[in-house]
Structure 1
Amino acid sequence: MGSTIGKAMDENMKKQQEFMLKTQRIQQERMLQMNNLMRERMMAAQVARARDMFHFFAVFYGFACVGGIAGFMKKRNPGVIAPLLPLTFVFMYQGDMAYGDKLVRIREEADRIMDKEPHLLELPHGLPTFSSIEAARLKQIDENRVNQGHDIFL
């Protein structure tokens, strides 16, 4: 009689464990999906911001070009159009970021770094472990207790 109850309990426990693993897996998949959707939204916002900045900079660059060329024609001084050279590079960079394939090149370079130079990505002191996190948590609790004790005597 005891063995049949034990068998039923073991089967029930195995079913519960399988159910828990399945729900954990679904939860983890949902978290990964949510994180990816949030990353995509943040990237879309970055691209939109770059395009907006490009439009404002394009107007500024246009006025600078017109003013610089007008000043050059009036005074025949090349120093008047000299600021257009660095502005041209900044304008091209912003245009590439907003409408070009700069983000693709950045992602490819990041992939290359992850594949060929993983040592650049290592955290100082390595990845935190449960024990190091727990030790820091306990230390914080102890410091809070000590600080509370000092407040009494003030």
Structure 2
Amino acid sequence: MGGVFSNPVDEITVRKNQEYISEMNRIKMERWIQMHYQIKERELALNIARNRELFYWITNFYIVSLVGFISRYRKTKRLGVLTPLVPLSFITAYYADLAYGNKIHRIRAEADMIMKHEQDLLEWPNGLPTVSTIDQARVEVEMEKKMHPQNP
């Protein structure tokens, strides 16, 4: 017999166990990916909600400022009084587009373009961390703790 096992049943059992372990690892990885995807979805939803809330505040500030600048213009008849409305208009329009427009879609499309055509911009300095660099950093932290213990 060509196998390490003297009994063919043992070889079949080991093979089934390996298949089971492989399947469990695949399921575990799929769950991990799905969990991180859902976390990112929630973070993005929070970010959009935060931008919408900021937009409400900026819009209210813009309206109050607009009323103030127009009343000031009516009193002074000087056009320069309305000048601050120009940047405020751009800021309000930017946040309106971010909160309710399609800016998120344009940002995502630009990110897709970068990932497809400018991959070199996404590389980490010194490449991906390896197990050895992580262990080395961990050992250095432990050594630092031993050499300089914290005073309670």
Q: TM-score range by the shorter chain?
A: 0.7 to 0.9
* CA deviation map 1:44-66 (0-9, x unaligned): 11111111111121111111111
Partner SS state of residue 66, structure 1: helix
Asked if residue 112 in structure 1 is aligned to residue 80 in structure 2, the reply is no
Residue identity opposite 1:130 in structure 2 = V
* CA deviation map 1:42-93 (0-9, x unaligned): 1111111111111121111111111111111110112211110000000000
Task: Call closer, same or farther: CA 1:44–1:16 in 2, change over 3 Å.
Answer: same
Moved more, 92-101 or 114-123: 114-123
Counterpart residue number, 1:18 = 19
Counterpart residue number, 1:88 = 89
Task: Call closer, same or farther: CA 1:62–1:98 in 2, change over 3 Å.
Answer: same
Counterpart residue number, 2:67 = 66
Task: Call closer, same or farther: CA 1:50–1:12 in 2, change over 3 Å.
Answer: same
Asked if residue 140 in structure 1 is aligned to residue 117 in structure 2, the reply is no
* CA deviation map 1:87-115 (0-9, x unaligned): 00000000000000011111111111111
Matches of 1:133 and 1:77 in 2, distance apart?
Answer: 65
**1:142 Cα shift?**
3.2
Partner SS state of residue 126, structure 2: coil
TM-score, normalised via structure 2 length? 0.88
| 8 Å Cα contact 2:58/2:92 also seen in 1 | yes
Counterpart residue number, 1:31 = 32
Asked if residue 46 in structure 1 is aligned to residue 47 in structure 2, the reply is yes
Matches of 2:77 and 2:66 in 1, distance apart?
Answer: 15
Structure 2 residue runs without a partner (length 5+): none
| 8 Å Cα contact 2:73/2:81 also seen in 1 | yes
Higher helix proportion: 1
Matches of 2:48 and 2:140 in 1, distance apart?
Answer: 43
Partner SS state of residue 129, structure 2: coil
Partner SS state of residue 123, structure 1: coil
Root mean square deviation, CA, Å: 1.8
| 8 Å Cα contact 2:72/2:81 also seen in 1 | yes
Moved more, 48-57 or 128-137: 128-137
**1:36 Cα shift?**
1.1
Matches of 2:47 and 2:130 in 1, distance apart?
Answer: 33
